[in-house]
Chains A and B, each alone.
Chain A
């Protein structure tokens, strides 16, 4: 190694210029990462393939400005120089640099980093007086020369630069090296990559425009980062994430504080940032620094439902109490992603400068983006993916460039793509390299059971699966049998062994990790694993041999207590592939056609059928017991409204069908929960620091306010102290005349809770592993490895835990806590995106369903709705027929209010609105009309078209009496249809619970009496506990007052979601 010195001028902490001398070591052997290398470089890891026509060295300017173009998938053989990477790191910030790093690590892109500055012969030191750009060019050029010579001139090397003088200076120096500009390069070498060229054009145009910008200042400058850091540390400024209110995107935004960095303890709600000036160019999702305004300038949030979109109404008189208000003084981290925008039609474009167009993003929270393009005419009313580049203080809007055209707005394909991109989901078809990894299901590749590693259950166990009708990816199967002697029962859950086919680190694994889950949209799905695996090799289909990962319990026949658990790999053959309806029919003793048995002789068939039915019954028995056990612990029965769009062959919607619950659903779910729980126990015990669990934090009490208020209005009391109390009071809050009330209350309870999350055990304390909703101390996801990546991770952990038990070292070191935590965050993020996508696509289909119908004449558009929450100028309703939620206004923009006539028909008249806790009433000349909580009304559904955003449904009151519905369509489940099974189920469960309660009481009684004997303590409520309870209540009230803003925000946020439905 040779030591040289490098002199750098840096700024010291006090702003003085300091001369720093740094060492710089050069070496002869720097790996070139090319598969053509003949000098035997130490090329481990990713290498450049040899089958490209040339290698390309982008120079510093190109990498900094056109990194996106180099990211285009088709571009291959790119060598990034270290010089360029450093320039990105220093010039563009961490985010851009991380993207570059990700690109270099991604095995799907053919590009490498060459550490030219540490290569003895490729390095050139900066000469005195040489400008930085010149020096950079020289570095990249000499790196290119070295690379060319190193590979003995086998491959021509192209250096691309945007610097004209560099082309002139270097182009004739060396025969094997070609120096071209970016544009020429793309045109000559990659003419087939139209996307890259378009991207290049749009970026270069943006860069040109940037130079010719005005100087008039629209916003105050952001403070330098040192000042911000110091301010945050001293508590003068507050750091947080900016959340823009979807319904008042122009005016209201909130900064959600980031936990520990905030020393200002008396500030425990969010900070309001109102108006564009004080938001100071921050965009939804950015990490910002805010300064609090003096208390006299604080304002409250608007409380009324806002009607329509995008209009700039002056703040209304109805405001909540003032909350902390601040202004943005700096931005720590931009979190810009790809946005979908719609180009305006021609007449709206500014005539003066038609090349720069203000496009409106699909997401209402994002400001308009200024885009320079020459294709404005062609792109009218098209949805286009854009990226934001910058937002100068002299500009009212941010600048961006277009990346890709999605299609005409309003078309189904465009809209679906829009939804995907808006949720940052990028799905490319599986590449050939990935598909090549797939094993083939051929006779040469038989399914083997190694005695050591895999147990053969094909002959011994009756294994069956229960799934929705038409399911292809069967990832869970069940088995149950009595063991000889009749004392014990054996329950088995067998899950597809995906990790057998997807080794860690393979291309398929990487792709699955990026996708993290299978995305289910209303009309399609995007699989996490290639179809070969998900629908064939891994799928536990009926009648064929498959590998599985099993959990097998030995239970006591009478008490159902666990005696033994066995975890391990197995080989199974599923005998029956049932679907839910069929299984339920078998259980109910109704005649049913089991596909697998149709070809057998009648007597044989009956015997088999009896065997299967017996197994199903045993399973149901066990599941009921398990459920009762969890209910004891306080498990919640939650309700989400699920609606499925029924499509015909041409993907037209024929009906919107709410899902029908059956007991079998619950039985299967219960077994899966049980398996997940036991696996969680196993991996947590084996790897206390690095197991992947799923936890559900208890919700904040103030989020329950809406639920409690609504329930009180109806005369129910809801106790939200613990999950058990909540479950109990929800069970009691049943209106015998209206089953919907209970369902709605459950929906509201669900909304009040936060989502369950994946977490690595090393990063939270053990007492927080608790799963609130399921009332289990440890929980994870194990049962759907075909659909969820978390399960794949858990499978690997379980395999490692098993081999640890057998005292053999796991083949590979496990992911550390830190890596696992990063992965957990990633999966959480993707899961949220998947959920949002699913919801948005359902909403899209709801809109499409109503779009073709004329709201005035079609009977489908008039429906019965039930009110569940009251706002200042309207209320929120739920429409059970379609599973829709939405806002209904009783006061419109002209100030008119709804009033009902004698027969309940409503019309608009001028008057006023009065809001009460449990009802809202309008007063006008014709009299007073009252709408009370949980009353049924009739609404008309119409579609409110929107050009730039998604269409939304508009609800209008027709009458304040229940809708006299025509006889229900046959495919909707009538209440009487469900009655019998539900009744049976309910009764059995109640009985189970009663016995368990009795047992527990007996146990408790014993224990208490022992205490009594030992310590002479009284059993009843004593004064101390009473006082304690009073104190807690007081504390809670204080909290509720103090954090009212935060609580409200959550509620209104959710209400916000529903209004857009």
Chain B
């Protein structure tokens, strides 16, 4: 009934952020030694783990092999304990299949697959705690993991969700904002060139507002890319100290 007030008259959101502010992002690369690349990211209370294997030879059905580039295989899953109510999530339900497909499309646009013909790159992402913006957090985690695996990419892929409340775009929605009605848009961006890797929106939105919303999403993605860049640099520094170079 009495809907939550997503944006107060003073311009505060439910959790105290202002409209264009992101949640706190913390990330680590190389969390697992066994995989080729791995990363863990926290964006507010949404936490995700990404693991990358490859590039390696095609496994399973060889018929999917592409002769000019690598195949990217993505798998998205959510931990049973990731939401407030524990819920068993069967493997391959519709939501995660769709999400996997989105991830795949995003990374096919970003990874330089033509360097590895006839091979396969596996990206596994698991959401450990879900609090809105699952897709974008997964993309960000996977980016770090791919970098960690040393697979060349055109640019970082940074993603962010943006919502639209009271004619104002809100960056990086949390769960309460996402479920509170209103339309939300997910954007994955290659920030340096400003190319869009994926753009997704399910809800209705007036055409006039689309441009402002896209602009807000791009700014937010660029913000995310700065944070990721810092994480990568710091990681490299740590690693280079360890290897003694």
Binding site for B on A (CB under 8 A): 1, 3, 5, 12, 16, 18-27, 31, 89-90, 93-94, 97, 101, 104-105, 113, 115, 117-118, 225, 229, 816
Judged by a CB distance under 8 angstroms, whether B95 is at the interface is no
CB within 8 Å for A16 and B85 given contacts A24-B15, A113-B10: yes
CB distance from B13 to the nearest CB of A (A): 9
Bound-state CA distance A115–B84 (Å) is 28
Bound-state CA distance A312–B217 (Å) is 65
Neighbour of B9 across the interface among A31, A94, A105, A816, CB < 8 A: A105
Bound-state CA distance A472–B176 (Å) is 57
Neighbour of B2 across the interface among A19, A23, A94, A104, CB < 8 A: A94
Q: Shortest 7 CB-CB distances between A and B: which pairs?
A: A25-B16, A118-B16, A23-B15, A225-B1, A18-B84, A3-B24, A94-B2
Judged by a CB distance under 8 angstroms, whether B44 is at the interface is yes
Contact A89 B2 (CB under 8 A): yes
Cβ contacts B166-179/A at 8 Å (1 or 0 each): 01000000101000
Contact B85 A101 (CB under 8 A): no
CB distance from A507 to the nearest CB of B (A): 19
Contact B2 A93 (CB under 8 A): yes
Contact A22 B84 (CB under 8 A): no
Contact B1 A24 (CB under 8 A): no
Residues of A contacting B131 with CB < 8 Å? 21, 23
Q: Which residue of B lies closest to A27 (CB)?
A: B16
Q: Which residue of B lies closest to A112 (CB)?
A: B10
Q: Which residue of A lies closest to B9 (CB)?
A: A101
Residues of B contacting A97 with CB < 8 Å? 2
Contact B5 A89 (CB under 8 A): yes
Contact B16 A117 (CB under 8 A): yes
Q: Which residue of A lies closest to B3 (CB)?
A: A94
Contact B15 A25 (CB under 8 A): yes
CB distance from B218 to the nearest CB of A (A): 22
CB within 8 Å for A816 and B167 given contacts A3-B24, A23-B174: yes
Residues of B contacting A3 with CB < 8 Å? 23-24, 44
Bound-state CA distance A775–B182 (Å) is 40
CB distance from A789 to the nearest CB of B (A): 23
CB distance from A31 to the nearest CB of B (A): 8
Q: Could you list 15 A-B pairs, sorted by A, with CB under 8 Å? A: A1-B16, A1-B17, A18-B84, A18-B85, A21-B45, A23-B45, A24-B15, A25-B15, A26-B16, A31-B10, A101-B9, A105-B9, A118-B12, A225-B1, A816-B167
Contact A20 B84 (CB under 8 A): yes
Residues of A contacting B24 with CB < 8 Å? 1, 3, 23, 25
CB distance from B181 to the nearest CB of A (A): 14
Residues of A contacting B5 with CB < 8 Å? 89
Judged by a CB distance under 8 angstroms, whether B205 is at the interface is no
Bound-state CA distance A23–B42 (Å) is 12
Residues of B contacting A27 with CB < 8 Å? 16
Binding site for A on B (CB under 8 A): 1-2, 5, 8-10, 12, 14-17, 21, 23-24, 44-45, 84-85, 131, 167, 174, 176
Q: Which residue of B lies closest to A819 (CB)?
A: B167
Residues of B contacting A21 with CB < 8 Å? 45, 131
Neighbour of A115 across the interface among B1, B2, B12, CB < 8 A: B12
Neighbour of A23 across the interface among B8, B9, B23, CB < 8 A: B23
Bound-state CA distance A101–B9 (Å) is 8
Contact B15 A22 (CB under 8 A): yes
Q: Which residue of B lies closest to A224 (CB)?
A: B1
Contact A113 B9 (CB under 8 A): yes
Q: Which residue of A lies closest to B14 (CB)?
A: A22
Residues of B contacting A18 with CB < 8 Å? 84-85
Residues of A contacting B44 with CB < 8 Å? 3, 23
Bound-state CA distance A118–B84 (Å) is 25
Contact A12 B45 (CB under 8 A): no
Task: Name, among B9, B14, B15, B24, the residue most crowded by chain A CB atoms within 10 Å (CB to CB).
Answer: B15
Residues of A contacting B14 with CB < 8 Å? 22
Contact A90 B2 (CB under 8 A): yes
Contact A115 B10 (CB under 8 A): yes
Residues of B contacting A24 with CB < 8 Å? 15-16
Bound-state CA distance A90–B1 (Å) is 11
Bound-state CA distance A118–B8 (Å) is 12
Residues of B contacting A113 with CB < 8 Å? 9-10
Residues of B contacting A94 with CB < 8 Å? 2
Q: Which residue of A lies closest to B5 (CB)?
A: A89
Residues of A contacting B21 with CB < 8 Å? 1, 25
Bound-state CA distance A22–B16 (Å) is 11
Task: Name, among A23, A25, A26, A104, the residue most crowded by chain B CB atoms within 10 Å (CB to CB).
Answer: A23
Q: Which residue of A lies closest to B167 (CB)?
A: A816
Further 15 A-B residue pairs, CB within 8 A, beyond A21-B45, A23-B44: A1-B16, A1-B17, A3-B24, A16-B85, A18-B84, A18-B85, A22-B176, A23-B15, A23-B23, A25-B15, A101-B9, A115-B10, A115-B12, A117-B16, A118-B16
Residues of A contacting B16 with CB < 8 Å? 1, 24-27, 117-118
Residues of A contacting B10 with CB < 8 Å? 31, 113, 115
Bound-state CA distance A12–B179 (Å) is 13
Bound-state CA distance A113–B8 (Å) is 11
CB distance from B4 to the nearest CB of A (A): 9
Residues of B contacting A5 with CB < 8 Å? 45
Bound-state CA distance A97–B9 (Å) is 12
Bound-state CA distance A16–B86 (Å) is 12
Q: Which residue of A lies closest to B17 (CB)?
A: A25
Residues of B contacting A229 with CB < 8 Å? 1
Bound-state CA distance A239–B94 (Å) is 36
Contact B84 A19 (CB under 8 A): yes
Bound-state CA distance A19–B85 (Å) is 8
Residues of A contacting B2 with CB < 8 Å? 89-90, 93-94, 97
Bound-state CA distance A104–B9 (Å) is 9
Bound-state CA distance A229–B12 (Å) is 29
Q: Which residue of B lies closest to A229 (CB)?
A: B1
Bound-state CA distance A225–B45 (Å) is 31
Residues of B contacting A20 with CB < 8 Å? 84
CB distance from B205 to the nearest CB of A (A): 15
Residues of B contacting A104 with CB < 8 Å? 9
Residues of A contacting B176 with CB < 8 Å? 22
Bound-state CA distance A1–B14 (Å) is 15
Residues of B contacting A89 with CB < 8 Å? 2, 5
CB distance from B47 to the nearest CB of A (A): 11
Residues of A contacting B8 with CB < 8 Å? 115
Bound-state CA distance A906–B237 (Å) is 111
Bound-state CA distance A21–B10 (Å) is 24
Residues of B contacting A816 with CB < 8 Å? 167
Bound-state CA distance A94–B4 (Å) is 10
Bound-state CA distance A97–B2 (Å) is 10
Bound-state CA distance A23–B8 (Å) is 17
Q: Which residue of B lies closest to A119 (CB)?
A: B16
Contact B9 A12 (CB under 8 A): no
Residues of A contacting B15 with CB < 8 Å? 22-25
Residues of B contacting A101 with CB < 8 Å? 9
Q: Which residue of B lies closest to A21 (CB)?
A: B45
Bound-state CA distance A117–B176 (Å) is 18
